[in-house]
């Protein structure tokens, strides 16, 4: 497992089998937030809000715990999800109110064109079939679907209640 802390510049690896935390990985000048692991288990992708500027996604090689070259994304990235096939990471850029794909099949990984999602700030998930990105939006209070193949924003699923501001989302697997 890999753990970040709000306003922290470190990621702590944890060996779950032994219940022991490893040596924290320091990434100076960072505000490390959400983390996603590639489906093959080789890379942790860490969202770096980056104090006072544009954000990045920082790859960490899981086998060696080596920090890779940061990938430039929009302002104040807060959330990240990876498609089940491991080909694309999707980042929620809070200050830009957008989500942005990163092509993980290229070396280095290539950020794509951001997609505007009003109110998007934190939560992001991808359906298990890899066809849809779901993004939390606070204005309106809704979950916004985006078709991955066409990169088209769908009709928001309104949650109701003017004080509801969704910031997290997870998708259940129904068998």
Tens-level pLDDT at each residue, the chain (175 residues): 999 976 778 999 999 999 999 999 998 767 888 999 999 999 999 999 876 667 999 999 999 999 999 999 999 899 999 999 999 999 999 889 999 999 999 999 999 999 999 988 889 999 999 999 999 998 778 999 999 999 999 999 998 765 578 889 999 877 6
CA–CA dist 10, 30 (Å, integer): 8
- What's the confidence (pLDDT) of residue 163? 58
pTM more than 0.85:
yes
CA–CA dist 108, 105 (Å, integer): 8
C-alpha triplet 111, 65, 125: angle, nearest 5°: 45
CA–CA dist 44, 62 (Å, integer): 7
- Strand, helix or coil at 70? coil
- What's the confidence (pLDDT) of residue 5? 77
Give the helix/strand (H/E) hosting 2: strand 2-4
CA 123 to chain centre: 8
**What number of CA atoms fall less than 13 Å from residue 122's CA on the CB side?**
11
């Amino acid at each position: 497992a890999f753990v970040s802390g709000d306003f922290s510049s470190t990621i702590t690896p944890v060996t779950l089998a032994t219940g022991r935390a490893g040596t924290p990985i320091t990434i100076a000048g960072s505000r490390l937030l959400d983390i996603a692991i590639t489906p093959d288990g080789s890379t942790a992708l860490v969202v770096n809000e980056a104090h006072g500027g544009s954000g990045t996604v920082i790859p960490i090689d899981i086998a060696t715990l080596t920090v890779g070259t940061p990938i430039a994304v929009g302002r104040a990235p807060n959330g990240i999800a990876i498609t089940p096939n491991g080909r694309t990471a999707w980042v929620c850029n809070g200050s830009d109110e957008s989500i942005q794909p990163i092509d993980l099949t290229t070396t280095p990984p290539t950020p794509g064109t951001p997609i505007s999602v009003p109110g998007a700030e934190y939560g992001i998930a991808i359906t298990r079939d890899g066809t849809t990105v779901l993004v939390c939006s606070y204005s309106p209070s809704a979950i916004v679907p985006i078709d991955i193949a066409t990169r088209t924003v769908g009709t928001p699923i309104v949650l109701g209640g003017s004080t509801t501001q969704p910031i997290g989302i997870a998708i259940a697997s129904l068998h």
